[in-house]
Amino acid sequence: MKSGKNIIRNLSVSALAKKALENHEVIQSKTGALIVYTGKFTGRSPKDKYIVDTPKIHNKINWGPHNQPISEKSFELLYHKIINFLNTQKEVYVVDSIVSASEKYSLKLRGYFQYAHQALFASYMFRNLDKNQLKNFSPDLTLYAFPSVYADPSIEATKSEIFIILNLEKKIILIGGTKYLGEIKKSVFTFTNYYLPENGVFSMHCSANTDIYEKESALFFGLSGTGKTTLSADISRKLIGDDEHALSNEGIFNLEGGCYAKCIGLKKESEPQIWKAVNRKNALLENVVIDNQGNIDFEDSRHTENTRAAYPLSFIENSIASGIGPHPKYIIFLTADAQGVMPPIAKLNLNQACYHFLSGYTSKLAGTERGIKEPQPTFSAYFGAPFMPLKPMVYLNLLKKYLKKYEIKVFLINTGWIGGKYAVGKRISIEETRNIVSAILLGKLDNTPCQYNKIFNLYVPEFVPEINQNILDPSFSWTNKNQYQQEAKKLAFLFNENIKKYQGLVLDSIINSGPKP
């Protein structure tokens, strides 16, 4: 690879924003936020993500639809294709940064980007370095993201022209054929989820915040659209981060330096902190609709339901700059049940926590992946299986270790629908979910009596302050109670079918902690 004048290194945020505007990569709104459109691909392409299969890593990887093998030969062909393309470009943008707020478990990342707005995104997503740290910078991990480089399936043995390839042994990530910015973020996260557990650190797909005194923290696990970002951005608490964290004996640490928030339907009244952040100058909005006068319309989903906003953590006023917090007192598993049958809250014991961690149930919402047009039930282990390359017991054993060691309490919260399934019922309001979360974090539900939900084998608090108590029994809001029973049993059956793949791997006490249709 050449190191000539085409390589532009470590520009400031303002310089990258200026470049992106000059190159007509983005347009600017009245608020100063930058809008980028990603064209054909407005979500992740999980079927186009691969891990290079080498003898050294082969037995460690949980091979399957989320972790597809690709040969070293295919990797080399695409690597050289990217390098050849890079060397022909007038400008290539390089960003050097740090992954992880923990100095002990940090990774030095160097990213090469075709577009200035990609470099801006990386400057937000990963932790920035000062001038002294940039001197003699030597990366642990190198990423190349060039949307104009396409794979040829007949030559490189990919499934399409898109490729996201992780070479865990060489510590190189290749991304081509797609402009969707989430591929940059999630491919790096996948690498950390390979690296950190080997050091006894629990890497997690979750958001995190603390009380105002930074004495107690809470973690929010959940797939896209379940509320991780929304619920962790709380004016009464301090934000550590919105999506990717790790837990060690020293405490929690953020793996990122910014947020990548879903913003479809964003409202100032219900999400004031996020609203303010995405409307700041140089916030980077992805596939959001803007009119000819520069006004943003967060309700318009003409390009995708998966509209996004990237911004640094500093845009959230009560964020913790260090990205570090104490061990959690509470863990909340979030699901967005579009079947409208699960209770809005349940208390989980250790076995139930393990069961629901392995299940990772939610409804996959429109737009987050190619081809998803309306919500559909999905099970994603650890609430993030597409990003977890190691075998299930690695992550499960780390969960059990930290739950026991720090006596962490676990709750399951449904942020989905009530009164019927998607398009029939309505979604539980953000206000009521926030009140449920608040009751948990204030300790008001630690010892409250519970009622037993027979179908889902869950213990639901009999009373939660500041909410409509009728929603605690999900069947109450259904007009046709028999139909509720049928739909609830259908979902319970799906839980049972999904957990079967872990029989023989985990204790029967965990397998038997799920729904009982």
**Cα(343)–Cα(436) distance, rounded to whole angstroms?**
12
Task: Reply yes or no on whether 205 is catalytic.
Answer: yes
Contact 205, 220 (CB under 8 A): no
Quick one: how far is CA 410 from the chain centroid? 19
**Which position among 186, 238, 347, 370 bears the catalytic label?**
186
The Cα angle at residue 24 between residues 22 and 27, in degrees rounded to 5 = 100
- Beta carbons within 8 Å of 143's beta carbon, 6+ residues apart: 109, 110, 111, 112, 172, 173, 175, 184, 187, 188
Q: Give the DSSP per-residue string, 423-474.
A: TTSEEPPHHHHHHHHHHHHTTTTSS--EEEETTTTEEEES--TTS-GGGGSG
Catalytic residue among 49, 66, 185, 228: 228
H-run or E-run covering 358: helix 350-359
| Interatomic CA distance for residues 481 and 475, integer angstroms | 6
The answer to whether 24 is a known catalytic residue is no
- 3-class SS at 365? coil
CA–CA gap between residue 114 and residue 19 (Å, rounded): 12
Which among 308, 356, 364, 409 is annotated as catalytic? 308
C-alpha dist (Å) from residue 308 to 114, 265, 295: 20, 11, 16
Q: Which two tokens stand for residue 87?
A: 């060397």
Verify whether residue 243 is a known catalytic residue: yes
Dihedral over alpha carbons 287, 293, 295, 296 (to 10 degrees): -10
- Of the candidates 243, 362, 380, 513, the residue annotated as catalytic is 243
Residue 404 to residues 221, 348, 391, Cα–Cα distance (Å): 18, 13, 21
Burial class (CB in 10 A: 0-12, 13-18, 19+), 20: buried
Q: Which residue is associated with the tokens 């109670």?
A: 481
- Quick check: is 237 catalytic? no
What are the beta bridge partners of residue 244? Answer: 205
Q: How many residues does the chain have?
A: 517
Amino acid letter at 172?
I
Identified catalytic residue from 42, 100, 229, 477: 229
Given 29, 74, 102, 224, which residue is catalytic?
A: 224
Contact yes or no for 166/292 (Cβ under 8 A):
no
Tokens of residue 49, six digits:
């993500």
* Active-site entry in 19, 29, 38, 44: 44
Burial of 388 (0-12, 13-18, 19+ CB in 10 A): buried
Q: What whole-number distance in Å separates Cα of residue 125 and Cα of residue 287?
A: 18
List Cα–Cα distances, 69 to 158, 186, 345, in angstroms.
10, 17, 39
Catalytic residues: 44, 186, 205, 224, 228-229, 243, 308
